[in-house]
């Protein structure tokens, strides 16, 4: 349970190949010709006005809280000043940590532009104008825009980021992020143009894209983007302008990628030859989304086949129950199939957003509801968990289990996730409907009023639902004039006994309630094609369709190959995954719970909890280790579950999604050993310190599923941990298990260690009967002449070049 902090710090220093995403389908969608884009087109969010109590308040808070504070951080962290210096309005060196910090400003402009369309705000619009003016002045005369290099050149080359490369573009396949920044600029520019009708930012983007188009090419610079996103951005420029050169450039950047590169940025194979989701998961989903755009616009089967296979690999073996993706922090990305640790799950917020982009595009290509099933799961769980109810705190990773080490932050050095939330949330209404020829797709159930053009007629649609709490949906269809079209209403997998397409997760039993369809008061037969209930008729004003989606509480099991979830169950109701969190459960502890497979449960709406939420009540037992090493189950106690995305709004503490069903799969409370009953002290006090006596034994010295204490980044010095006993004890043996995260991490087994005990006021070394060994992947024990002591200390000499850490330290 320490994993994250250490990883985050490590990543911050080591690098952080991060970033974020993008939103498509704004207000745009200009049709070129019948076959020149997705066969199904989303209904832009500007045509859909939310009237619900779940998303509408969140979008409002995004406008009132998230966007203003995000701009505030861009200013206080000097991201904006970078543009001012590059523009010649100020002097100095590059002010921030990463060369991709420019992208945060672009992403928040994109979010603000979306937001302006539904929440007009002249002050915000004026602020965007001043920012855009600075961006324009920061752009070099030939169109180049990258504040780090421009500022360095003003300072005689000083302050050029080590990732930037001596010459423009040459390091982009690695870490310069020049094209990455531009991808976000292009998306922001199209959003701003659509929102305001002004071309100020669009002209900056086009000038930049024209430079990229002049500099890159098969006979010119042939460098693929180290972090994808420009592919999607260029497609948007193409849609906004009709200029094919931007589309060709998007394709160029995909076609020149690989083979022979790194899996981290999806360059081992050419994109068309890829079949597996690998590497950094944000880069991956942005690339797959760009590939989908090419597949749609150019009718390219090779791209289509590749993304269809990749989707299967991702959803059938690499997706968390919450829809989160990316299992490991080291690469911020995918692990092998079925390797899905819960507490150390990465599930970056940006990756959830990228996954939503990807699934939306696959739906627009294929018209099948399974893609929206995945989209909805991610939207309601792993994406939504990325932001607090107050809209001013954010998660970077979204784990499925916590021992209290996770807490949403106001901002990050690498701020991709908050800026991605800022731009994604206002565009959510754009995912509800889509149209093709004479079909209207209803994909999400969110109360709204929408004006939609189907075929040649305008139709006003009014949807009423109390989602995600209730499965009843009413859709009022009011065409301007009588018209024939097909209403395709998505019947979610969860309403039909499917937890996730492909069976990585399954419900433990069949639910026999069926979906009910009522048209103008009369129950109608259900004809489901590609996951949609199809209603084809001549619609007239006043027509009403009602759908009843069964929404019972369901228990879920994972595929047996997911080791972490063996002999465990989880709970789902509608699209929401549930978790137990510390404030709702008796002792504030939930990690030691066992919930039997057949545990009974009830569900009810609690209007006072977390701004109103459906809860699940069941029962379970705490488990506890005994001194003789057995695990005992304590008495039955009530257990209350809340929706996963709402956790961590009441402070840090324990949380769990997957509940052990047996004592063998449980994490029992520790036994009352000398070590566990002692008061802990250490040379460095961190949240992870309690790991040393929590009695969780790792499988090896780099087991990321078990918590550890570490001294990173300190090295080459003596450190210590101390147990102060409750009362003097006679002790004669101790053992320790070291943390060592080679080859990538910063910790190794130490050079030396020794034990001292407190005799009166004096620390004395113990008189050992065996030598101090130093072992990786196992225990080091030392037996010594018995002493009566009031405290014991382990002293650890860190390696010259590495830090060290401890999983567990015991005393007998």
Q: Based on CB atoms, which residue is closest to Zn ion, 346 or 757?
A: 346
Quote the DSSP letter at residue 77: T
The residue count for binding Zn ion (CB under 5 A) is: 4
Smallest gap from Cβ 417 to Zn ion, in A, equals: 4
Q: Based on CB atoms, which residue is closest to Zn ion, 281 or 621?
A: 281
Q: Based on CB atoms, which residue is closest to Zn ion, 56 or 351?
A: 351
Integer CA distances (angstroms), 642 to 151, 334, 573, 578, 760, in order? 49, 28, 10, 5, 51
Report d(CA 100, CA 282) in Å as an integer. 14
**Looking only at residues 397 through 416 of this chain, which bind Zn ion when binding is defined by CB under 5 A?**
416
Q: Based on CB atoms, which residue is closest to Zn ion, 348 or 401?
A: 348
Smallest gap from Cβ 538 to Zn ion, in A, equals: 48
Largest Cα span, the chain: 95
Kind and range of the H or E run holding 782: strand 779-797
- Identify the burial level of 35 via C-beta atoms within 10 angstroms of its C-beta, where 0-12 means exposed, 13-18 middle and 19 or more buried: exposed
Report d(CA 330, CA 745) in Å as an integer. 8
Residue 128, classed as helix, strand or coil, is helix
Smallest gap from Cβ 45 to Zn ion, in A, equals: 22
Q: Based on CB atoms, which residue is closest to Zn ion, 395 or 753?
A: 395
Number of other CB atoms surrounding residue 638 within 10 Å: 11
Report d(CA 25, CA 41) in Å as an integer. 9
How many residues are listed for the chain in this entry?
812
Report d(CA 514, CA 308) in Å as an integer. 30
Residue 809, classed as helix, strand or coil, is strand
Query: What does the per-residue mask of binding to Zn ion show for 621-660, with x meaning CB under 5 A?
Result: ----------------------------------------
Smallest gap from Cβ 22 to Zn ion, in A, equals: 12
Distance of alpha carbon 370 from the chain centroid: 20
Smallest gap from Cβ 232 to Zn ion, in A, equals: 16
- Identify the burial level of 355 via C-beta atoms within 10 angstroms of its C-beta, where 0-12 means exposed, 13-18 middle and 19 or more buried: buried
Q: Based on CB atoms, which residue is closest to Zn ion, 71 or 738?
A: 71
Number of other CB atoms surrounding residue 273 within 10 Å: 12
Q: Based on CB atoms, which residue is closest to Zn ion, 409 or 496?
A: 409
Among 86, 249, 417, 639, binds Zn ion (CB under 5 A): 417
Q: Based on CB atoms, which residue is closest to Zn ion, 171 or 229?
A: 229
Smallest gap from Cβ 354 to Zn ion, in A, equals: 9
Smallest gap from Cβ 387 to Zn ion, in A, equals: 12
The residue number with the shortest CB distance to Zn ion is 350
Q: Based on CB atoms, which residue is closest to Zn ion, 378 or 622?
A: 378
Smallest gap from Cβ 431 to Zn ion, in A, equals: 20
**Looking only at residues 332 through 391 of this chain, which bind Zn ion when binding is defined by CB under 5 A?**
348, 350
Query: What does the per-residue mask of binding to Zn ion show for 299-318, with x meaning CB under 5 A?
Result: --------------------
Structure tokens at 361: 């595009």
Query: What does the per-residue mask of binding to Zn ion show for 163-182, with x meaning CB under 5 A?
Result: --------------------
CB 187 within 8 A of CB 205: no
Smallest gap from Cβ 705 to Zn ion, in A, equals: 23
22 counts as binding Zn ion under rule CB under 5 A: no
Number of other CB atoms surrounding residue 44 within 10 Å: 20
Smallest gap from Cβ 297 to Zn ion, in A, equals: 27
Q: Based on CB atoms, which residue is closest to Zn ion, 272 or 350?
A: 350
Q: Based on CB atoms, which residue is closest to Zn ion, 333 or 750?
A: 333
Smallest gap from Cβ 104 to Zn ion, in A, equals: 10
Report d(CA 626, CA 647) in Å as an integer. 31
Integer CA distances (angstroms), 315 to 284, 333, 529, 563, in order? 14, 14, 21, 17
Q: Based on CB atoms, which residue is closest to Zn ion, 284 or 350?
A: 350
In sequence order, which ranges of 329-380 are alpha helices (DSSP H)? 349-366, 369-378
Smallest gap from Cβ 402 to Zn ion, in A, equals: 19
CA triple 639-662-581, angle to 5 deg: 30
Structure tokens at 543: 């027509």
**Looking only at residues 730 through 759 of this chain, which bind Zn ion when binding is defined by CB under 5 A?**
none
Enumerate binding residues for Zn ion (CB under 5 A).
348, 350, 416-417
């Amino acid at each position: 349970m320490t994993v994250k902090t250490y990883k985050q710090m490590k990543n911050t220093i080591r690098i952080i190949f991060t970033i974020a995403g993008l939103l498509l389908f704004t207000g745009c969608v200009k049709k070129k010709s019948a076959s020149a884009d997705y066969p199904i087109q989303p209904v832009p969010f500007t045509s859909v006005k939310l009237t619900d109590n779940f998303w509408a308040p969140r979008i409002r808070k995004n406008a009132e809280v998230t966007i203003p504070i995000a701009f505030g951080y861009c200013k206080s962290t000097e991201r904006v000043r970078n543009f001012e210096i590059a523009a010649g309005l100020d002097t100095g060196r590059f002010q921030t940590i990463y060369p991709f910090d420019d992208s945060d400003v672009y992403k928040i402009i994109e979010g603000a532009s979306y937001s302006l369309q539904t929440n007009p705000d002249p002050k915000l619009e004026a602020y965007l104008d001043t920012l855009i003016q600075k961006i324009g002045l920061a752009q070099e005369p030939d169109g180049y825009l990258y504040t780090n290099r421009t500022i360095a050149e003003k300072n005689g080359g000083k302050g050029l980021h080590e990732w930037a490369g001596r010459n423009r573009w040459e390091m982009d396949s690695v870490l310069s992020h020049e094209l990455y920044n531009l991808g976000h600029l292009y998306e922001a520019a199209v959003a701003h143009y659509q929102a305001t009708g002004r071309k100020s930012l669009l002209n900056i983007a086009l000038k930049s894209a024209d430079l990229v188009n002049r500099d890159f090419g098969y006979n010119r610079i042939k460098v693929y983007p180290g972090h994808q996103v420009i592919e999607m951005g260029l497609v948007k420029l193409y849609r906004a302008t009709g200029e094919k050169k931007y589309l060709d450039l998007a394709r160029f950047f995909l076609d020149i990628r690989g083979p022979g590169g790194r899996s981290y940025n999806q360059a081992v194979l050419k994109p068309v030859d890829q079949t597996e989701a690998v590497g950094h998961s944000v880069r991956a989903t942005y690339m797959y989304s760009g590939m989908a755009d090419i597949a749609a616009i150019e009718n390219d089967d090779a791209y289509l086949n590749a993304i269809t296979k990749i989707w299967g690999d991702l959803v059938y073996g690499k997706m968390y129950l919450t829809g989160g993706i990316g299992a490991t922090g080291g690469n911020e990305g995918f692990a092998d199939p079925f390797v899905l640790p819960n507490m150390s799950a990465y599930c970056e917020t940006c990756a959830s957003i990228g996954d939503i982009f990807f699934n939306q595009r696959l739906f627009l290509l294929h018209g099948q509801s399974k893609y929206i099933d995945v989209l909805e799961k991610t939207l309601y769980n792993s994406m939504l968990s990325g932001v607090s109810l107050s809209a001013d705190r954010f998660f970077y990773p979204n784990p499925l289990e916590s021992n209290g080490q996770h807490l949403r932050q106001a901002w990050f050095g690498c701020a991709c996730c908050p800026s991605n939330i800022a731009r994604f949330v206002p565009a959510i209404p754009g995912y509800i409907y889509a149209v093709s020829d004479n079909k209207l797709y209803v994909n999400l159930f969110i109360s709204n009023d929408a004006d939609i053009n189907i075929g040649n007629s305008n139709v006003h649609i009014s949807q009423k639902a109390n989602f995600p709490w209730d499965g009843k949906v009413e859709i009022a269809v009011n065409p301007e004039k009588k018209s024939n079209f097909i209403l395709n209403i998505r019947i979610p997998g969860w309403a039909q006994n499917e937890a996730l397409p492909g069976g990585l997760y399954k419900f433990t039993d069949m639910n026999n309630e069926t979906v009910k369809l009522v048209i103008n008061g009369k129950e109608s037969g259900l004809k489901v094609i590609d996951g949609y209930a199809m209603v084809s008729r001549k619609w007239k004003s006043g027509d009403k369709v009602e759908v009843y989606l069964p929404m019972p509480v369901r228990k879920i099991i994972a595929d047996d190959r997911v080791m972490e979830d063996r002999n465990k169950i989880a709970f789902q109701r509608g699209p929401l995954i549930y978790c137990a969190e510390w404030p709702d459960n008796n002792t504030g502890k939930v990690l030691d719970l066992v919930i039997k497979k057949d545990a009974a449960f009830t569900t009810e709406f609690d209007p006072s909890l977390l701004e109103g939420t459906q809860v699940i009540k069941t029962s379970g037992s705490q488990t506890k280790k005994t001194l003789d090493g057995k695990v005992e189950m304590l008495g039955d106690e009530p257990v209350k579950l809340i929706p996963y995305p709402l956790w961590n709004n009441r402070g840090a503490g324990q949380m769990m999604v997957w509940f052990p069903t047996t004592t063998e799969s449980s994490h029992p409370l520790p036994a009352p050993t000398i070590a566990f009953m002692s008061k802990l002290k250490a040379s460095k006090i961190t949240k992870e310190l309690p790991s040393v006596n929590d009695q969780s034994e790792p499988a090896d010295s780099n087991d990321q599923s078990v918590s550890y204490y570490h001294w990173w980044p300190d090295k080459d010095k003596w450190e210590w941990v101390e147990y102060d006993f409750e009362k003097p004890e006679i002790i004669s043996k101790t053992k320790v298990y070291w943390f060592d995260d080679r080859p990538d991490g910063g910790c190794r087994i130490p050079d030396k260690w020794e034990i001292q005990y407190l005799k009166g006021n004096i620390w004395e070394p113990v008189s050992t009967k065996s030598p101090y060994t130093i072992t990786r992947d196992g225990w080091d024990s030392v037996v010594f002449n018995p002493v009566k002591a009031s405290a014991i200390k382990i002293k650890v000499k860190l390696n010259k070049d590495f830090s060290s850490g401890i999983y567990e330290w015991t005393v007998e």
